[in-house]
A and B are shown apart, each in its own frame.
Chain A
Amino acid sequence: MIRVRESLQKFYTENDYWVLPVIKAVTAFLCFFTVNSNIGYSDMLSNPLICIAASILCSFLPWTCIPVFFGMLILGNAYAGSLEIFLVAGIVLLLAALIQSTFRAGNAILIALVPLFFYIHIPYVIPIIAGLSLGLMSTVPVSIGVMLYYLIEYISVNASLSKIAIGTDITAMATAYAGLFGNLFKDKEIIITMAAFAFCIVIVFIISQISFESNWIVAVIAGVISIIIVSVCGYMHFELDFSFWGILPGLIVSCLISLLYVFAFHAVDYQRTERLRFEDDDYIYYVKAIPKLKSLDEDEN
């Protein structure tokens, strides 16, 4: 395992100049594809070429651009679905942007990754990894991501049912809009999921900060257990149907992926090769600084 980790580290150090843009492009493509495959109402935005072009663009831009494009895709598809849904999506995205700005939470990529991981049925990976590596403030983007996942689900279900006749009685219109917003904002499942993820991040973060052997592994297991406990309590409190066996495979796979993450990233610094340009009075220097990698054999010697 250590050898694999070392070779991974070496590979990243030597090839980071193309690995990072490729990872960005693939992540962006998967996120955009998730939106288009679920709410692809706009013919233009659903075009795979648009998706690929946006992904390539994202590979050159900072990570923050992926959730921005992600939000724009949701808005575009919601507009193609219906004007009412567009209004709901617009308000939700505005709220998301404001909340993210209020807390200056950072790690905005999580906003786009949470829906993606929900659709591949391993959403529990995100809060565990966020708790391990990104800190407590990652609770904010993870919660916003959960909100966006339920927004996409909501749009996919309600887009065709939400035509409100304009010009009818104002009370009827208000009631129709209340129903439209109520379907999303009165959904108790969102609250339970947000609470479970937030609790998981806090637990994982606290345990991973305590110094003892295998603290990260214990943190992962505690995170999974905390998700189960909060979910069970939440569903019981709101008297909703809950299938433990339904989420169990996702939990097990998430736990395994998180453990793999621990082995690959715990106490490993994936430093990039830096290409620098600086100057003094006489010269302009073009320098490539390669991080030193110490193998296990060297340490033993």
Chain B
Amino acid sequence: MLNVEKIRLMVQLSIYEKKEGKGIIETSKYFKGDYISRGILTASIYYTLCFIVIGIILAIVNIEEVLLHLNIPFIMASLHTILYVYLAGMVIIILGSYIRCSLSYDNAHRKSLFYTAKLDKLLRMQENEFDYIDVTKDEAEYYRETGGRIRIYDDVHNTWESVHPQFHTFVKDDGTSVDPEGGWLDDPIVEPPRESSSYNKKGEPQGGWLDEDMDDDSIDVLNIRKRDK
């Protein structure tokens, strides 16, 4: 059974993962403090290496002056200057890295929350398989009594919550299943659509079946393969 809404959600998730996944995965490995510390440490190491290379270049370029003034006071004065410049640069680099890493972490965290919310929706959809509950007439009584509510586990609060199914409940009549209008995509279409069936419209998942008009979806399903189990 193929659900357009589910496929659409999976496409959205897949595109989002492709575009933003790298940043989300990188930040999700660390707490914010650790991520910022790591960024600052890396930038500091690169800055130190940069400073050494620039120092060597400046020493080579001004070699004549260095050789002419090669005495203890000159060396001490030069070392002081180098140290002050290095420390000033380091402070700027640390501040810059802190701001940059903090912003990028917050940004990635927001994206990961969005991604998780979408993923949660997909998982709930999968749990309930279109919220299309396959029940007998007797079992359907229970759903009528509870107002068609079902229980869903809330990971965050570690509780069960009672919610309305997003899709209509399909009542199976004494174990005989009724196909949706147009049949299932993964089944060979043999019979013409049953117009008189009271379950045809009831049983449709939100977004319709995949073999219906998909012009506005911009999703072109190239191939769907049944998994080998």
Contacts and interface: CB of A to CB of B under 8 A. Distances in A.
Contacts of B41: none
Nearest to A102: B46
Given A98-B50, A102-B93, A287 B11 contact: yes
Contacts of B157: none
Contacts of B218: 289-292
A191 to B, nearest CB: 14
B43 A287 contact: no
A286 B53 contact: no
B47 A102 contact: yes
A282 B50 contact: no
A249 interface: no
Contact of A274 (B15, B50, B224): B15
A276 interface: yes
Contacts, number: 106
B223 interface: yes
B177 interface: no
Interface residues of A, number: 36
Given A285-B221, A285-B224, A276 B15 contact: yes
Given A95-B54, A185-B57, A276-B14, A178 B221 contact: no
B60 A177 contact: yes
Interface string B16-58: 0010000000000000000000000001001101100110111
A104 B126 CA distance: 40
A274 B13 CA distance: 12
Given A98-B53, A178-B64, A287 B226 contact: no
Interface residues of B, number: 40
A286 B225 CA distance: 8
Nearest to A277: B14
B224 A283 contact: yes
A279 B228 CA distance: 12
Contacts of B100: 104
Contact of A278 (B14, B50, B60): B14
A101 B97 CA distance: 12
Interface string B55-84: 011101111100100000000000000000
A281 interface: yes
A284 B50 contact: no
A289 B126 contact: no
A174 B65 CA distance: 12
A91 interface: yes
B99 interface: no
A175 interface: yes
B2 interface: yes
A185 B55 CA distance: 12
Contact of A91 (B13, B47, B57, B224): B57
B222 A289 contact: no
Interface in B182-222: 186, 218-222
A288 B96 CA distance: 41
A292 B214 CA distance: 13
B7 interface: yes
Nearest to A275: B222
A280 B1 CA distance: 12
Nearest to B122: A280
B179 to A, nearest CB: 17
A94 interface: yes
Given A102-B47, A276-B15, A287-B7, A178 B219 contact: no
9 smallest A-B Cβ distances: which pairs? A102-B46, A286-B223, A288-B220, A286-B222, A178-B63, A98-B50, A276-B14, A284-B225, A101-B46
Interface of A: 91, 94-95, 98-99, 101-104, 171, 174-175, 177-178, 181-182, 185-186, 274-276, 278-292
Given A284-B224, A285-B10, 11 more contacts: A94-B53, A95-B53, A102-B50, A174-B64, A175-B64, A181-B57, A274-B11, A274-B18, A278-B11, A283-B227, A286-B225
6 contacts: A102-B46, A175-B63, A286-B221, A288-B221, A289-B220, A292-B218
